[in-house]
Amino acid sequence: MTLEAIRYRTAYEELRSVQDAFEAIKCMKVRGAPAIAIVGCLSLAVELRAGAGGDDPVTFIRESLCHLTSARPTAVNMGRAARELMEFAENESMEKNSEQLRESVIAWIEDMLERDVNDNRKIGNYGAQHILSGVPRASVTILTHCNTGSLATAGYGTALGVVRSLHALSRLKRVYCTETRPYNQGSRLTAYEAVAEGIPATLITDSMAALTMREMDITAVVVGADRVVANGDTANKVGTYQLAIAAKHHGIPFYVAAPSTSCDLSLESGRDIIIEVRPSEELTSINGVPIAAPGIEVWNPAFDVTPHQLITGGIITELGVFLPSELQAALTGRLTAL
């Protein structure tokens, strides 16, 4: 087998412990805001199934969730899941023995997996309908960034879920996916999902996005989110911000597709979001092969924040599509406090 074939093969890796999941999340074998939370919690379920925590599962659950939450700071999903699950476990522990508690926590986690797929299908449907309502044309062309599909969620995807829904309705002419430097989630993952499912897709480099908007009749830009805060400012994969600026310049609606679990009403503005800075090697090499001059200094923020004013299409959630100014009211009472 060639080196390339080894690096780009499809393979499943078993995660047997919370520590396995922590490492997979940290080194981005698992990535994408919803998938980080789901895999993190599932790893806890695996350990609980084997009896972890003995007579004190609550302490084990608390320490595990705390560890998992520390793996990556920007996406809110793991932190939200940890808080909700901890509250659930503490309540359950009042009336259940250790074995019963483990079982009910595992059931909660399995339910989380199912909820995410259902929410994504709703996001796909709401997003597709919203985009189609704005265009009389028979088919639409979408530009997306990073990977927000089955590989970033429990299944179906958020922004890529919208693309899937448009394709299922036979209304997708084409999706343009950015390469998404430096980690290439677009060329490695989104392109993979599109090819696997026969979705008409074209790969572009990030630097071709503005030109693509001008030349390729883009109907809408749809991206995912790692954290949407109260005023609608959105942290997502670095490069999202410049796409939103270019979309505004070309009069193209810009949408963020995200489940309510990616929303954080406890932060007022995007300035409060912690942006993860990744190792410089992710920029200076690809698969261990150097691509930059040795010794060059590097800044490698993994995310940027798109100001709410640029989210002109709306924020597509499982509850509907909202303008940034409508989000807080729409979610208040539906989200647990962080």
| Residues forming the active site | 226
User: Three-class SS of residue 260?
Assistant: helix
In whole angstroms, how close is the CB of 16 to ligand MRU at the nearest point?
22
Q: Which of 39, 44, 75, 218 binds ligand MRU (CB under 6 A)?
A: 75
DSSP assignment letter at 270: G
DSSP assignment letter at 60: H
* Beta strand pairing call for 227-229 and 289-290: unpaired
Q: Does 237 bind ligand MRU (CB under 6 A)?
A: yes
DSSP H or E run through 77: helix 77-93
The torsion defined by the Cα of 185, 186, 187 and 188, in degrees rounded to 10, comes to: 40
Using alpha carbons, select from 112, 109, 15, 96 the residue that is nearest to residue 58.
96
The torsion defined by the Cα of 91, 96, 99 and 104, in degrees rounded to 10, comes to: -50
- Give Cα 30 to chain centroid, integer Å: 11
Helices 18-26 and 33-49: angle between axes, nearest 10 degrees: 160
d(CA 91, CA 330): 28
Q: Does 178 bind ligand MRU (CB under 6 A)?
A: no
What the block records as the tokens of 167 is 């394709």
In whole angstroms, how close is the CB of 200 to ligand MRU at the nearest point?
21
Contact region for ligand MRU (CB under 6 A) — 86-94, 109-117, 132-140, 145-153? 145-153
Q: Which of 38, 61, 152, 194 binds ligand MRU (CB under 6 A)?
A: 152
Contact region for ligand MRU (CB under 6 A) — 54-62, 165-173, 196-204, 222-230? 222-230
Nearer to ligand MRU, 144 or 212 (CB): 144
Count of positions on this chain that bind ligand MRU (CB under 6 A): 17
Contact region for ligand MRU (CB under 6 A) — 44-52, 61-69, 148-156, 328-336? 148-156
Per this entry, what is the length of the chain?
338
In whole angstroms, how close is the CB of 12 to ligand MRU at the nearest point?
19
- Give Cα 97 to chain centroid, integer Å: 36
Q: Which of 40, 57, 155, 224 binds ligand MRU (CB under 6 A)?
A: 224
Q: Does 186 bind ligand MRU (CB under 6 A)?
A: no
In whole angstroms, how close is the CB of 27 to ligand MRU at the nearest point?
11
**Residues contributing to the site for ligand MRU (CB under 6 A):** 31-34, 75, 146, 148, 152-153, 158, 185, 224-226, 236-237, 302
